[in-house]
Amino acid sequence: MSAALKPVPHADLAEVCAQAVLAQVPLLMREIRSAMRQAAPEGLTVPQFRALLFAQREPGGSVGALATHLGVTLPTASVAVTALAERGLLRVHADPHDRRRRLIRLSAEGRRIVDAAWSRTAAGFAERLSRLPAAQLHTTPQALQALAGALISRS
């Protein structure tokens, strides 16, 4: 005879989830970054590839915001942006509201490179995830969406 399970208070469940998020998300992000770097084309440095990923996520983002994202100085980010623009991977234009600020967008070729790396990374992850039971695969997307909805500030 099994003992009856006691209900766990909502606040305790939230704490368990918070601890799991803090423990697991950095490990997952490390895997994602590693896989994306491996999928990046030859001839791009990791910061350059990260700059392309930033431009995909933040179209029209500033070089200053890119510098913050990369954890580098504005001149360092500017050099990377110039190199990527010269290779035809980024489009750079002045901010119409502040001519001193430069804004970046992926070019068609930059988008092709990011999309190809994304597809290779997703295929590798899908292969690894295929080892999970179907029930877990069915619930994972909804759980991740709920997690993002609860934790990502939408300002």
User: Looking up tokens 């967008």, which residue turns up?
Assistant: 105
Residue 10, in any domain of the structure: no
Contact 90, 69 (CB under 8 A): no
Residue 22, in any domain of the structure: no
Q: Which residues contact 92 (CB under 8 A, 6 or more apart)?
A: 63, 81, 82, 85, 102, 103, 104
The pTM of this model reads: 0.74
- CATH at residue 91: 1.10.10.10
Residue 48, in any domain of the structure: yes
Residue 23, in any domain of the structure: no
Residue 24, in any domain of the structure: no
pLDDT grade, residue 69 (50/70/90)?
Answer: very high
Q: What is the pLDDT of residues 86-100, one digit of tens each?
A: 999 999 999 999 988
DSSP 72: S
Q: Which residues contact 132 (CB under 8 A, 6 or more apart)?
A: 140
Residue 12, in any domain of the structure: no
Q: What is the pLDDT of residues 15-61, one digit of tens each?
A: 999 999 999 999 999 999 899 888 888 888 888 999 999 999 999 99
Containing structural domain, residue 59: 43-149
Residue 75, in any domain of the structure: yes
- What percentage of residues in the chain have a pLDDT greater than 70? 95
Rg over alpha carbons for the chain, rounded to the nearest Å, is 20
Write down the pLDDT at residue 9.
Answer: 79
> How many domains does the chain fold into?
1
Residue 79, in any domain of the structure: yes
**Is the C-alpha dihedral spanning 111, 112, 116, 119 positive or negative?**
positive
